[in-house]
Structure 1
């Protein structure tokens, strides 16, 4: 077993004081929860719902798709760009309307285009949320208008935001400050302006802001999923049910806290040789490489010790394929296992038939020699027995001859 210990001792930092009812902050690269305030409490998510709507649409349809607006979009309520039945826009233009202007009617048009109905789209969205790890999320619509069974948590929304920002088209859309879409009616709204002031405001703007989405209903209060990047680190902050300018100050406090008091270190490098493994009947030992990068977000609050060990067998049997999983790198903190990374063969190892023959001879030759020795000993014993029998017969014959002569 191979063991490394990483010890990081930094000065403790005070947690941010927030006005929002619930909040969460995660590192986008590692997914580690850096701060939580009732982060798993179920809340109305308002228009932050649209982050998952956009992600599902991007994964299941093409930006160039022409979407024909159905009769239900106009009845969505809340913020709209007043899409009439029959109007046609590309999916990309509808996503700009959804994410910048927070248009609920665009959400309904997208949902019906992707899944045929709002209800079917909600089912797809809920499955997508569970796959991401957002297990306390259940959506009934694509836009976030309040319904009893439409809920999420600050932590789940952070996970959804993290996943969405992995999509380059999504990232491009939510970082856009203003955009113009074509409309068939020259009087219809075509100029879109991003509601996320962190991206553009000289008063509330945040340096390095990259997205994501604001929201508001009277039941949900002011909500935001905010993201920002400094150097090679990106953070996702969520604040739910806050008021007024606290929306921006709470998000900024969370992001400052994460950038100032945490840092990432790469502990494991993908494809780096970590150890080797004997290959029985193989021409050589096989080198084992890490199957992926592993980066850990170290807290500055308290010293942290991480142990890295190898979980590998004593040997393996030839042949070995390149990329075959033969063990694991185990990363632990105390008694808690926090990560397991595959160890894979970095090249193919064929059978060594000469080694197989040698091995066979190693085990078979002594047996053969023993059998030959036993055969020789039995032969010696039989020959001795025959000689004794002949001698006995000769002696008996001699004794009879002596009697007759007398």
Structure 2
């Protein structure tokens, strides 16, 4: 119930009020731009020029992989055409006519950062690099990445190929929801089957956070590095601790600072923020009478609602409900009947729909009773009035006959 949720929030806020209210010191990042997102809530926890448009280098391949996984089956066979052979940059040196599964190409794309794999994937999914770039740009907009425009699937330099630290964090967050993507980007070693025994088969993940004794990060789960002269050192990194996952992005860092920048961001997020579940999916929040229904309808939260709070100086949260004033049967399970509004002062934290927990059928007896209630009494009154009018007319008629009779007697 809502009161139970409020009690939990009050308990959390009481705990928060015992902590110092000073803000934790922001991490010192060498990279030109950076962003840190909580993967569970999508909240931005730290930003440094996070909306500045920059070259993303091979971090582009995160969106390439996501779009490919959403639009094609991993087991599909891809035939290498003439264009991937001329992709340039980091390559697996695929040969025209070579056949591999989409899954193997994705391993080459995400571990080895193979540009030829990116072109082959784009042509397989969309027919051409241009068509694939248009799909990627549309997908980016759907994710809220408003400052992104891609012209290719691999991130080779192009004046019209750009993104931001924040946008790349959104892409990384969405991609990590895909279990196949998560599996690939967490893989350190992989062997790609090739028909040519002399061809490159062995892949090694470029993300040192996963495996390095020096730069390895506890709980690292992926995602992708990138480098060009124009873009500098770039990374989208992810890590899990205590049931939380964070997405860190650093653009245009230098050398080993790439790894320390990512680690500082992740440390900052884990140390200074915590997630609280304010609304739980399926929990009964209220009940609503249903006119002409066989029962009341329980209103349940349509989804969970998590919010990331600073560990120091938690804010006060107010929860209110906005429910439709009345509803008539029938009611369908899942029908939206209201919302839960969560606010901190004047800031709206979010909304959660309240939906019907079950169907409520029409109660025909209730409808009949309503019909009887609203029709029988007026009908009885009308019949009574009609009866009174008839009696009145009869009395008048009898009185008139008597008068005529008396007048006749007198004459």
Deviation at 1:188, TM superposition (A): 2.1
8 A Cα contact 1:96 1:179, kept in partner: yes
Aligned mates of 1:261, 1:140 — CA distance in 2:
38
Alignment of 1:269 with 2:283, yes or no, is no
The yes-or-no answer on 1:193 pairing with 2:209 is no
Find the aligned partners of 1:61 and 1:345 in 2 and give their Cα distance: 36
TM-superposition CA deviations, 1:287-325 (whole Å, max 9, x none): 111111111111235431222222212221011122222
CA drift of 1:51 comes to 0.4
SS of the residue corresponding to residue 187 of structure 1 reads coil
Q: Distance in 1 between matches of 2:120 and 2:370?
A: 70
Aligned to 1:323: 334
1:352 is matched with 363
- Most deviating of 298-307 and 30-39: 298-307
Distance in 1 of aligned mates of 2:195 and 2:59: 29
Instruction: Give deviations 1:72-100, integer Å, cap 9, x for gaps.
Output: 11221211121222222221111111111
SS at match of 1:316: coil
Residues 1:174 and 2:185 are matched in the alignment: yes
Counterpart of 1:161 (choices 154, 162, 172) is 172
Written as runs of structure 1 = structure 2, the 5 A alignment for 1:281-296 is 281-296=292-307
For 2:358 and 2:76, locate their aligned partners in 1 and report how far apart those are by CA, in whole Å.
44
Runs of 4+ in 1 over 6 A off after TM superposition: none
Q: Quote the residue 2:403 is aligned against.
A: 392
Cα distance in 1 for residues equivalent to 2:156 and 2:184: 22
1:59 maps to which residue?
A: 70
226-235 or 82-91: bigger deviation: 82-91
Asked which structure has the greater CA Rg, the reply is 1
Q: In structure 2, how many angstroms separate the alpha carbons of the residues matched to 1:313 and 1:90? A: 52
Counterpart of 1:337? 348
TM-score where L is the length of structure 1: 0.94
Task: Return the offset for 1:115.
Answer: 1.3
**Are the counterparts in 2 of residues 13 and 300 from structure 1 also a CA contact under 8 Å?**
no
Residue 189 of structure 1: CA displacement?
Answer: 1.7
The SS at the match of 1:72 is helix
* Deviations 1:56-77, CA, capped at 9 Å, x for gaps: 1111122222222111112212
Q: Distance in 2 between matches of 1:90 and 1:144?
A: 22
CA distance in 2, matches of 1:334, 1:272: 25
The two structures have a TM-score, normalised by structure 2, of 0.93
1:283, CA displacement in angstroms? 1.2
Runs (5+) with no aligned partner, structure 2: none
Gapped runs of 5+ residues in structure 1? 401-406
**Partner SS state of residue 355, structure 2:** strand
Q: Which residue of 2 aligns with 1:239?
A: 250
In 2, Cα distance between equivalents of 1:212 and 1:298: 25
Superposition map of 1:367-386 within 5 A: 367-386=378-397
Name the counterpart of 2:235: 224
Structure 2 match to 1:32: 43
